[in-house]
Amino acid sequence: MITTVKYGELKNYINGEFIEHQGEFASVVSPIDGNLIAKVPLSSTQQLDNAVLKAKEAFAQWREITIKDRAQIFYKFKTLLEQNINELAEIVRDENGKTLEEAIASILKGIEVTEFACSIPQLTNGEVLEVSRGVECKLIKRPLGVVASITPFNFPLMVPLWTIPNAILLGNCMILKPSERVPVASGKIAELLKQAGLPDGVFNIVHGGSDIVEAICDHPDIAALSFVGSTKIAKIVYKRATSNNKRALCLGGAKNHLVVLPDANPDMTANNVAASMAGNAGQRCMAASVMVAVGDVDHIIEKLCIESKKFIPGDNLGPVITQESKLRIENYITEAERSGAKILLDGRNTVVAGKEKGFYVGPTVIDYVTPDMSVAKEEIFGPVLSIIRVNTLDEAIELENNSSYGNGAAIFTQSGGLANYFAERASAGMIGINVGVPVPREPFSFGGWNDSKFGVGDITGKSSIEFWTQPKKITTKWNPESRTGWMS
């Protein structure tokens, strides 16, 4: 029997062309049904070198194009993303397992960042001041050169789009190294960028695993990199890249705490917390992982379980990325149960009819978790919520502050004063007040604190402009006769 692989053998994209890969490939399996959907090249470091060389050549011309003209390409790119959103969402669903609605929402966020990029010319008009009579100082922002973006499995299009429009529009040329588990969607980005008029060599894709990431960190002609992935690897990449004098911004994992006070609106809170925990199968760095129940909130926990049950595996709840992830997540639940926690809703051993080989975990709610348990401390990255009970808001804040991570944190209450008290004291980069997934909309930038981020600034928004450029200061004097103080 001849079976066709839906997306076939993928290719690297270098200098505007998809290049047939001669070396080894790895399998790409859809988490929905365990079927092989593509083969991804495991590139050699020579292939990376070639991509960097072409990007470096392209940079010489790309930097000469005015930022307003570069922006025109991204206006077209944004329209193309919108026109192709259904096809893009289907790819994201196939390789990552998101539902189509989730895939579309993630692409809309990518489109929003592209819109922000198109506004960058209005934000980078520089600064000028007459610093002494007849003497002017001017500051302009210039690109860094060839840069790299290394991305994780959980958002195959959105995370690459956090970096591609801003970095390229600001005049850099880019090498994208997508997650080898979800490498298909990036090829479509390359096609659409070319269709939008991006010159060859400005955007390139080199597929592969850790050896390509290491080679990116070491490459003398790559000036800067952004990384999004687990904390363990983010730390390694940050250290290696910065020890090679590269600029690096590395976003890591998370353990987000949602604090629920007794005065919280029960329906809205239950609905928000459940959606934050189970949406995208819990594979979001902004997902609710711990609910900190302050005082008596049993009536909200009851509703939370009802809301969580509305996430049906194989219907509005997608699979987790691999069989290993499924087993790892189930082990966390079993360990919590053995340690004395109470499983209110159990997602273990979930099998979806017709998709028996898919990697599904049902929504899981675990009550009476204590801070020493692994489910309370470690990133689980699945649709699992641990409830820790405390007596006061200060105890809740202390618990949140004790986490080594610091991506998102939220509070549910009707008291503005208590909400502000929490927002000031929570040790996280993105705070929600009655918002379960407090991802800032553009132009407010995305980025956490503590072990959720290594490097200065955020990955989107205005601070990304600083990351992807270097300031140049020009001092000018055209009137040689005048005395201009110490500048003369």
Catalytic annotation, residues:
285
Residue 102 touches ligand NAD, criterion: CB under 6 A: no
Residue 381 touches ligand NAD, criterion: CB under 6 A: yes
Residue 454 touches ligand NAD, criterion: CB under 6 A: no
Count, residues near ligand NAD per rule CB under 6 A: 29
Binding segment for ligand NAD among 229-237, 270-278, 335-343, 347-355 (CB under 6 A)? 229-237
Residue 106 touches ligand NAD, criterion: CB under 6 A: no
Residue 412 touches ligand NAD, criterion: CB under 6 A: no
- 354's torsion region: left (phi>0), alpha (psi -120 to 50) or beta? left
Residue 51 touches ligand NAD, criterion: CB under 6 A: no
Residue type, 292: V
**Residue of the chain from 452, 460, 464, 469 that contacts ligand NAD (CB under 6 A):** 452
> First-to-last CA distance in the chain?
84
Strand 25-29 relative to strand 36-41: parallel, antiparallel, unpaired?
antiparallel
Residue of this chain nearest to ligand NAD (CB atom): 229
Residue 213 touches ligand NAD, criterion: CB under 6 A: yes
**Residue of the chain from 33, 94, 180, 400 that contacts ligand NAD (CB under 6 A):** 180
Read off the tokens for 379. Answer: 């990133």
Q: How many CA atoms lie within 13 A of 44 on its CB side?
A: 7
Name the minimum Å distance from CB 279 to ligand NAD: 14
Read off the tokens for 431. Answer: 């705070």
Residue nearer to ligand NAD on the CB measure, 96 or 413: 96
User: CA–CA separation, 399 vs 292, rounded Å?
Assistant: 8
**Residue of the chain from 72, 230, 370, 415 that contacts ligand NAD (CB under 6 A):** 230
CA-wise closest residue to 379 among 329, 421, 318: 329
**106-121 b/e with 16+ CB inside 10 Å = b?**
bbebbbbbbebbbebb
x/- track of binding to ligand NAD for residues 4-23 (CB under 6 A): --------------------
Q: What's the Cα-to-Cα distance from 358 to each of 29, 101, 349, 465, rounded to whole Å?
A: 10, 19, 11, 41
The residues, ordered by sequence, that sit 6+ positions from 325 with a Cβ below 8 Å of its Cβ are 359, 381, 382
User: CA–CA separation, 477 vs 167, rounded Å?
Assistant: 33
List binders of ligand NAD among 248-267 (CB under 6 A): 251-254
Binding segment for ligand NAD among 137-145, 222-230, 271-279, 344-352 (CB under 6 A)? 222-230
**Residue of the chain from 179, 186, 308, 460 that contacts ligand NAD (CB under 6 A):** 179
Name the residues that contact ligand NAD, by CB under 6 A. 150-154, 159, 177, 179-180, 209-210, 213-214, 228-230, 233, 236-237, 251-254, 285, 379, 381, 407, 448, 452
